[in-house]
Amino acid sequence: MEAANPLWRNYRVGRELGSGSFASVRIAQHVRTGHNVAVKIINRHHTDEIVRREIDLFRLCAHPHVVRMYEVIGTPTDTNVIMEHMQKGELFDYIIGKGRLPEEEARRFFQQIIAGVDHCHRNNVVHRDLKPENLLLDGKGNVKIADFGLSETMEDGRRLRGFCGSMNYMAPEIFTGKGYGHEVDIWSCGAILYALLCGRFAFDGRSNSALLNKIKTATYTLPDDLSDNARDLIQKILVVDPARRITIHDIRLHRWFKQNLPIHLAFILPQHLNMLDNDIIEEVVTKGFERDDLIHSLQSSLQNDATVAYYLLLHNRPSNAAASSSS
């Protein structure tokens, strides 16, 4: 039975990492490469339109700072979503453990978050649930966006509606019922930056009504020892009127954001990047895959055994490895 199941044929499935009402997440080892992945196992009876949309959005938003989805394996009983294994867990737990972060460390996380969010927006995707619990850390301490379950695409000037997200990070325009756009994600990024720098919620209250009042009036306090540039950026993000809220373009140009900005984050990635790594391709070939078939699959954005091996090897290459060569 296991040999006929593509999940068990390609992966050694291990312990449970977490579970919900209709799904569980397990760690697994990819047989051909030996690298670990996370497998989200969803009962087929509950694989509804929301799950299918989330899978499509993960594919659309592939980026170094978005959790990678390697493949989807269907069985008679389950839909198995093979994801990048984020060894260091949630950014939320990291903040709880460390409290206020030094500005340099907070800036590094924020630069990566903005790069990922910017890529989503360029693909017309509004996340709608950005919060530290949905930002995961890999083994190298890099942050990546996860959980597109509440995300929506927004095209042709269409405004989104719907009350969704975590209230502490929700933008005030969500509560008006008049529709909203990608600016809600920018507000959430501001609330996340506040949490990184201050070690607490920007907006909190004894009741939902008290919390809502603070959000609608952008009532919050900043520590006295926060740098002027950090203070200025937060104040430009947490603006009630979305038309006056700073844009991602201007966040990227802000003095606090640009300080010590890694060169790979200083440039916006093309939406369809087809540069292939020759060294990784040759390593995949040694594992029994045909070179021409692999290149065709990669250039066609296909998901199969060969491309899964390619991306697992690429993403797990030591950080000091030689720069990629194009094919």
Residue numbers annotated as active site? 129
Whole-number Å distance between alpha carbons of 50 and 276:
32
In the chain, the largest separation of any two C-alpha atoms, in whole Å, equals: 63
CA distances from 77 to 3, 51, 173 (A): 16, 15, 41
Exposed/middle/buried for residue 130 (C-beta within 10 Å: 0-12, 13-18, 19+): buried
Share of the chain residues as helix, strand and coil, in percent rounded to the nearest 5: 45, 15, 40
Whole-number Å distance between alpha carbons of 252 and 250:
5
Angle, alpha carbons 56-34-59 (nearest 5°): 10
Element at 43 (helix H, strand E): strand 36-43
**8 A C-beta contact, residue 76 and residue 45:** no
Whole-number Å distance between alpha carbons of 226 and 193:
12
Please provide the DSSP assignment of 202-239 as one string.
SS--SSHHHHHHHHHHT-----TTS-HHHHHHHHHHS-
Whole-number Å distance between alpha carbons of 56 and 54:
5
- Check the annotation: does 40 bind a ligand: yes
Whole-number Å distance between alpha carbons of 168 and 146:
18
Residue bearing tokens 């995300």: 151
Angle, alpha carbons 323-324-327 (nearest 5°): 150
Closest CA to 35 of 75, 81, 87: 87
Structure tokens belonging to residue 109: 């996380």
Q: Which residues are annotated as a binding site for ATP?
A: 40
Annotated binding site: 40
